[in-house]
Amino acid sequence: MAVEQFFEALPLHYLQHGISKFGFGNVALAVFATSLLCILADYAWMLYMRSKMPPGPFPYPIVGNTFQLPDNKPWLYFEELSKKLNTPLITYWIGRNPTVWINDAWAANELLEKRAGIYCSRPRMLVFAELGSGQNNLVNLITTTPAQRERFRMLRKLTHQGVGIQQVKKYRSFQNDESKVVALDLLRTPEKYVEHFERYATSVVSIIGFGRRVASSEDPIITEVIALMHRAADLNVPGKKFPMLMETFPMLARVPTEYAPWKHGMGSKKKSHRGHDFFYSLASEANENPGHEDCYAKMLFREREKYGLKNQEISSLAGNLFGAGSDTSSSTLITAVLAMRAFPEALHAAWEELDRVVGPDRSPSFEDDANLPYIRAFVKEVFRWRSVAIIGGQPHAPVQDDYYKGYLIPQSTWVQGNVWAIHHNEREFPEPDRFNPNRFLKDHPDSRPFPGERGYMTFGWGRRVCSGQALAEQGTWLTVARLIWGFKIEPALDRNGKPIPVDIFDYTNGLNMRPNVFKVSIKPRSERIRQTIEREGEQALADLQPYEGETKSHRGLQAVYCHFQLFQNASINFTFSALSATFQGRGQTLDIKLGGSQLYKYVDPTDGRFDCPTNHRRNKQNIEMLRRAEVNLGALGEAVDQSCRSKTAKSQYDVVAYLLRSDRTVKRTPLWEKSDKKKKAAVSETSTE
């Protein structure tokens, strides 16, 4: 009926009249000719704009240069293209949209720093923003109107209250303690260095944001944050041909994923937005917990009414902390270890300086910074040698037409800084792939002029510079200094006793890149240093005790029961296979084989309402039991936790994290109702001690 009404509404009688009068062939020819003329006119416009803009490869109609771009490490391609055409700026067409790539430090400084007021906005980003974290996220926010600029300033101000230059100095105490714990972890299980760095970086941000540390690499915060960061980094790669075409043809985004090969690798819309619920749940829980009144989440809720913050904005601001200081910091530390392993000669001067200034009976502290110039240069070279944000983060966009050396850069054009090319230009950095801290020593022969005070452009430019820059620089300096002071970084040996080589180019392919896992030997430099690491590490754990805790929404599942009253023939969509969970029924215990369920998807984090979709063909027997049972989600949580530890499940969050935010025993009874469009669940909630 609906289909018939749809076709009746279309003016198909005009088409029928045209075909009967002129013939089908003539009508088809007219449609083809009109389409061809439109394509030619559009292509003529593209070629006209190309003649005004910086040089680049010749674009094709409709698709531009999209299919000329390699999927793997496209920044290398743009670097070579810049050298081939002998120009610092390259124009590359993704579909009908041009992107200007900056491959030179001085050009980047001129456009993105000196003209920051022009290049302060973002372009519309369908894949990166609208289908991901949202165009209203501070990181993606367009600032072409006064209202948008005012909103940007407000959100930026709130971000600086969390990780501004002066604010991060207040975090040095627990950041120092967490760094000492990393050294202790490396002493005990050096082969897990990646997990230790991820735990450290995530824990620092968690204390800042939510007032509680992350004590274990199995904490659901780590598993979810790292998964979200890696997924975003992998998606935001210019070489993803088919997803990027949606930037030119937004209507393609409306096609369901199962029928859209150009969406391959993007995941579902629900999955794309799951980070919102996750970070809002963390912030809401932190706000409800007593103590730690200075944590970032509580500040956001205090300022919520004043600034009119929406739930999504609170979620984004909290999540941006992790984007700025978690995955990026851990990736930088892994790169530092790779540099130490591949270029051991760079360590000798560092050891000499640390032994002279610090000694073996204490580890470096922030107060030693002024007396450790080589360590400072070493850390700067880590940032330069293999920058994490290899294309400078999200693209900039000019708020008006601009010109550079006679070339037009139209308003709203994507402008991207190629940090790899900038940091590997032999004019500023001779032998760029050689790790050489001497480049950053004043008056050293290896030093070269470079725009800006820092000598690198790892964290972006202008008003869009990474908000977590000060926190990352502060923590990276201390942890790298402590790592060099405490350990010998040597080749790991294979079963035949031969050194296992490392590949300094073996990095992931994403917006934030990190080395792929490599084997390395990490041992204390001396017995006295080993004793110091143990003593300071144990003391640091004691000093961090006030921040101990776990997410109540995960722990509280052990005391939570849900009662389901479902429609006939309904079933929950289970996603994991053959996972045992024990349910406490009415006077009996039911042992049911379930596939674990992504229950978090169906719980509104703002009010806890439970709305479970149905499926008429799966798990009918399980649902019949669930209809009669009060489900012990705690037992389910424990079973899933064990499954996650044994690597059966991908993430604890996939099943239980943040279903609830308290330790109370909560009974929820959905009352299923019919509406004109769909069935919904209204949940009544009662709490008992």
Q: For the chain, how many residues are written?
A: 689
* Two tokens, residue 564: 């389901």
pLDDT reported for residue 251? 72
> Do the beta carbons of residue 608 and residue 625 sit within 8 Å?
no
**pLDDT in the model for residue 296:** 94
Cβ atoms of residues 72 and 509 within 8 Å: yes
Confidence at residue 614, expressed as pLDDT on a 0 to 100 scale: 40
Residues 260-284: tens digit of each pLDDT? 666 655 544 444 444 567 788 888 8
Q: Rounded distance, CA 533 to CA 536, Å?
A: 5
Res. 609: pLDDT tops 60: no
pLDDT at 574: 29
User: In degrees rounded to 5, what are phi and psi of residue 92?
Assistant: -130, 130
- Proportion of the chain above pLDDT 90, given as a percent: 47
Entry pTM: 0.76
Position 671 scores a pLDDT of 25
What pLDDT does 483 receive?
98
Listed in order, the ranges of the chain carrying CATH 1.10.630.10 are 146-240+265-386+450-547
Exposed e or buried b per residue across 64-82, where buried means at least 16 C-beta atoms within 10 angstroms of its C-beta: bbbebbeeebbbbbbbebb
Name the residue type at position 370.
Answer: A
Cα first-last separation, the chain: 53
Least confident residue range of 5-14, 105-114, 115-124, 221-230: 5-14
The chain-wide mean pLDDT, for the chain, equals: 77
State the pLDDT at residue 612.
Answer: 40
What DSSP assignment string belongs to 573-620? -B-SSSEEEEEE-SSSEEEEEE--B-GGGGB-TTT--B-----TTS-H
CATH number (3.40.720.10, 1.10.3720.10, 1.10.630.10, 1.10.10.10) of 146-240+265-386+450-547 reads: 1.10.630.10
User: CA-CA distances (angstroms) from residue 319 to 22, 226, 254, 325?
Assistant: 61, 12, 27, 10
Per the DSSP assignment, residues forming a β-bridge with 591 are: 582
Please state, in angstroms and rounded to a whole number, the distance separating the CA atoms of residues 581 and 603: 20
> pLDDT tens digits for 648-679?
433 333 333 333 222 322 233 322 222 333 33
Closest of 470, 511, 478, 227 to residue 388, by C-alpha: 511
CB 383 within 8 A of CB 456: yes
10 Å CB burial of residue 3 (0-12, 13-18, 19+) is exposed
Q: Which residue has the tokens 């032999």?
A: 426
Place of tokens 């910074």: 369
Question: Which amino acid is located at 510 in the chain?
Answer: G
% of the chain residues with pLDDT over 70: 69
Distance from C-alpha of 472 to C-alpha of 168, rounded to nearest angstrom: 10
Which tokens in the block code for residue 213? 């540390």
Task: Using alpha carbons, select from 348, 282, 354, 347 the residue that is nearest to residue 321.
Answer: 282
Please list, residue by residue across 589-615, b when 16 or more beta carbons sit within 10 angstroms of its beta carbon and e when fewer do. ebebebbbbbbbbbbebeeebbebebe
The verdict on whether residue 120 carries a ligand-binding annotation is: no
User: CA 420, CA 78: separation in Å to the nearest integer?
Assistant: 10
Which spans in 189-310 are helix H? 193-210, 220-235, 241-245, 269-272, 274-288, 296-302, 304-307
More confident residue, 230 or 183: 183
Q: In angstroms, what CA-CA distances link 375 with 230, 383, 490, 611?
A: 29, 13, 19, 55
Amino acid 140: pLDDT: 79
Residue whose token pair is 């609170």: 314
Give the pair of three-digit tokens for residue 569. Answer: 């023939």
Is 482's pLDDT higher than 90?
Answer: yes
